[in-house]
């Protein structure tokens, strides 16, 4: 969520909306306070359509592309616009407030078209942001929309996988062995010095060039020690982006053949998705974003999956907002660390102003770090590099 506590003045502005502008003034444009007001106005001004009541100022010259401007035929009239609005609400307000506001939008003001019309959903451009929003609202979707949602998930997954998998495979394929060469020509493994040395006999003094008859490539060292990678993913409402990327990464890791992947998602309950970890689409169709957070309970379950602690990596992806017992959380973290499990806690990353920013409970994260878990904010390539460092 953007911003901190709500001031008394801002609270009244949010309650009264445009009707209080003359008396309370208007929040600065572009500020968090102003964006909150615009997001609520966009929704709740629909309650006054047809009642000859309007907020305090004349909006006849308003720009229809601005988020706060009033549509004339309900939120469902412009699905892309409604998606932008949903993203603002999710970004600006706590999960509890977001649930209430989006519930009002669905029940009262015509946003249901976005979640009930397969043709409308099929027309929207697939994106991680759209998918995150739809997964968060999935409990409101009728069964007949499932095929459209699956197609959208597949499109987003394919795009993310195409961008992430080559980098992850390069990072995880092992270090180059300087004294061993491979017959497999891979550009990333090209041995420039070795190729020159092998072809010096073909040097042409007249042209000053070497005629290359044989290219040499380094051999990548394959690790023969079996490693288990447990991905423990928080699926509470604020974690949608991380859940999507985690599902894709689990699929990539499962396809490497060099590690055994175990995938666990949790809120207040724990679901083991290991049998379908190689299929990100099935994983995302199985998630239920929302609810509370019991990190300690999830880590306790993951501890039962550990068979070889010193060759096990447990990656927790969470905002560290623990809703369960803090004592239990720190106890199980310490026990895993003492057993020799390599622990990494990845902070939730949210997209703000085009850049990924970490969002997490710093106090809990610091306590878990003291108990033996490394805490970081890494993108998928950074995670792959970290795993290589641990398993080398």
pLDDT at residue 363, as a whole number? 94
Instruction: Flag whether the pTM goes above 0.75.
Output: no
Name the β-bridge partners of 333.
Answer: none
Q: Does residue 197 or residue 93 have the better pLDDT?
A: 93
Choose one of 189, 218, 247: the last residue of a domain: 218
Whether 249 is covered by a domain: the verdict is yes
Instruction: Check whether residue 206 and residue 258 sit in a common domain.
Output: no
**pLDDT tens-digit series, residues 30-76:** 577 777 777 777 777 665 554 455 454 444 333 433 433 333 334 33
Q: What are 118-122's contacts with CB under 8 Å, separation 24+?
A: 118/144, 118/145, 118/147, 118/148, 120/79, 121/79, 121/145, 121/148, 121/149, 121/152, 122/148, 122/151
Cα–Cα distance, 276 to 217 (Å, whole number): 36
Instruction: Check whether residue 187 and residue 335 sit in a common domain.
Output: no
Whether 387 is covered by a domain: the verdict is yes
Range of the domain at 334: 228-391
User: For position 251, which CATH number holds?
Assistant: 3.40.50.410
Whether 10 is covered by a domain: the verdict is no
Whether 8 is covered by a domain: the verdict is no
Instruction: Check whether residue 273 and residue 383 sit in a common domain.
Output: yes
Instruction: Check whether residue 233 and residue 378 sit in a common domain.
Output: yes
Instruction: Check whether residue 186 and residue 327 sit in a common domain.
Output: no
Instruction: Check whether residue 202 and residue 234 sit in a common domain.
Output: no
Choose one of 196, 218, 240: the last residue of a domain: 218
Domain count, the chain: 2
Supply the mean pLDDT for the chain. Answer: 76
**pLDDT tens-digit series, residues 355-367:** 556 678 899 999 9
**pLDDT tens-digit series, residues 121-150:** 777 778 887 788 788 777 777 788 888 889
Whether 345 is covered by a domain: the verdict is yes
**pLDDT tens-digit series, residues 74-118:** 433 345 566 667 767 777 777 677 767 776 776 565 566 666 667
């Amino acid at each position: 969520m953007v911003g901190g506590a709500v001031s008394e003045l801002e609270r009244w502005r949010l309650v009264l909306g445009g009707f209080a502008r003359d008396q309370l003034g208007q929040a600065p444009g572009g500020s968090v306070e102003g964006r909150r007001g615009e997001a609520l106005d966009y929704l709740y001004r629909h309650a006054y359509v047809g009642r000859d009541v309007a907020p305090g100022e004349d909006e006849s010259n308003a720009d229809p592309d601005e988020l706060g401007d009033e549509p004339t035929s309900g939120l469902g009239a412009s699905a892309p616009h409604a998606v932008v609005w949903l993203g603002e609400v999710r970004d600006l307000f706590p999960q509890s407030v977001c649930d209430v506001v989006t519930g009002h939008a669905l029940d009262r003001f015509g946003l249901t078209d976005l979640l009930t019309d397969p043709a409308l959903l099929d027309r929207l451009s697939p994106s991680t942001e759209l998918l995150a929003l739809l997964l968060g609202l999935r409990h409101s979707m009728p069964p007949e929309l499932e095929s459209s949602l699956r197609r959208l998930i597949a499109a987003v997954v394919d795009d993310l996988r195409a961008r992430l998998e080559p980098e992850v495979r390069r990072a995880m394929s092992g270090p180059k062995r300087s004294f061993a060469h491979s017959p497999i020509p891979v550009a990333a493994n090209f041995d420039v010095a070795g190729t020159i040395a092998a072809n010096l006999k073909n040097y042409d003094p007249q042209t000053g060039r070497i005629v290359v008859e044989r290219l040499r490539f380094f051999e990548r060292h394959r690790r023969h020690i079996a490693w288990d990678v447990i991905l423990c993913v928080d699926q509470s409402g604020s974690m949608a982006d991380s859940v999507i990327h985690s599902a894709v990464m689990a699929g990539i890791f499962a396809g490497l053949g060099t590690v055994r992947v175990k995938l666990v998602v949790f809120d207040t309950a724990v679901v083991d998705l290991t049998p379908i970890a190689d299929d990100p689409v099935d994983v995302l169709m199985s998630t239920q974003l929302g609810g509370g957070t019991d990190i300690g309970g999830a880590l306790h379950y993951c501890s039962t999956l550990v068979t070889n602690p010193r060759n096990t990596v447990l990656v927790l992806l969470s905002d560290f907002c623990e809703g369960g017992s803090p004592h239990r959380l720190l106890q199980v973290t310490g026990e895993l660390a003492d057993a020799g499990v390599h622990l990494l806690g990845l902070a939730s990353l949210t997209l703000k102003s085009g850049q990924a920013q970490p969002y997490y409970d710093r106090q809990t994260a610091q306590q878990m770090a003291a108990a033996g878990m490394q805490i970081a904010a890494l993108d998928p390539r950074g995670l792959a590099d970290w795993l290589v460092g641990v398993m080398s």
